[in-house]
């Protein structure tokens, strides 16, 4: 666990659909109609209510975020964001990935959500290298915390040991208060 001002940053290895927070973030595709990986797991576990709300929203551009109910999951909301498909890093991928994290946090602020959990956006089927993607994710979160102090807890929920260790090493190197 790490602390910056009044915000706790936590690493969790596990299933984001089982996390009890105000909002979990879905690494969605542009249609918001479900897919593989985290997106498919959220739609399956949350139930049809999420899909119905996503149909009404009508999609989401890459780097932006939308919000729905969490359906049958323990969180209250799902913030759907679309990260970029990695194409070698020369197609605004870094900017779009940063925006996916940052805009998710802005939406949490708009809805007065105090706790939020992120997966590692774009690092699965979209092929973003985890090493650079984690740098971007952490930078977006730290930049947001520097400007906004109302979010109490931000969790990065990583599916496997390797991804967890990458995030852990990067956060430890920052020398944050209370780092483990």
Respond yes or no: is residue 135 known to be catalytic.
no
Count Cβ atoms below 10 Å from residue 52 Cβ, excluding itself: 12
- Nearest to 48, CA basis, from 27, 31, 34, 36: 34
Q: Which two tokens stand for residue 16?
A: 């984001």
Count Cβ atoms below 10 Å from residue 109 Cβ, excluding itself: 16
Question: Which residue among the candidates 15, 22, 39, 161 is catalytic per the annotation?
Answer: 39
CB 152 within 8 A of CB 7: yes
For residue 77, the cross-strand partners are 23, 69
d(CA 113, CA 150): 9
Q: Annotated active-site positions, please? A: 39
């Amino acid at each position: 666990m790490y602390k910056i001002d009044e915000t706790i940053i936590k690493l969790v290895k596990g299933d984001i659909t089982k996390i009890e927070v105000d909002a979990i973030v879905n690494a969605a595709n542009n249609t918001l109609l479900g897919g593989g990986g985290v997106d498919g797991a959220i739609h399956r576990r949350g139930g049809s209510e999420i899909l119905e709300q996503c149909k009404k929203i009508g999609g989401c551009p890459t780097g932006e975020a939308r919000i729905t109910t969490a359906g049958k999951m323990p969180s209250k909301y799902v913030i759907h964001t679309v990260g970029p498909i990695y194409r070698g890093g020369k197609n605004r991928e870094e900017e779009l990935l940063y925006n996916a994290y940052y805009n998710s946090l802005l939406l949490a602020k708009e809805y007065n959500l105090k706790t939020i959990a992120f997966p590692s956006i774009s690092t699965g089927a979209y092929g973003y290298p985890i090493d650079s993607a984690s740098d971007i994710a952490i930078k977006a979160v730290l930049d947001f915390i520097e400007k906004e102090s109302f979010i109490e807890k931000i969790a990065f929920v990583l599916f496997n040991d390797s991804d967890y260790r990458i995030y852990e090493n990067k956060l430890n190197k920052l020398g944050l208060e209370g780092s483990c």
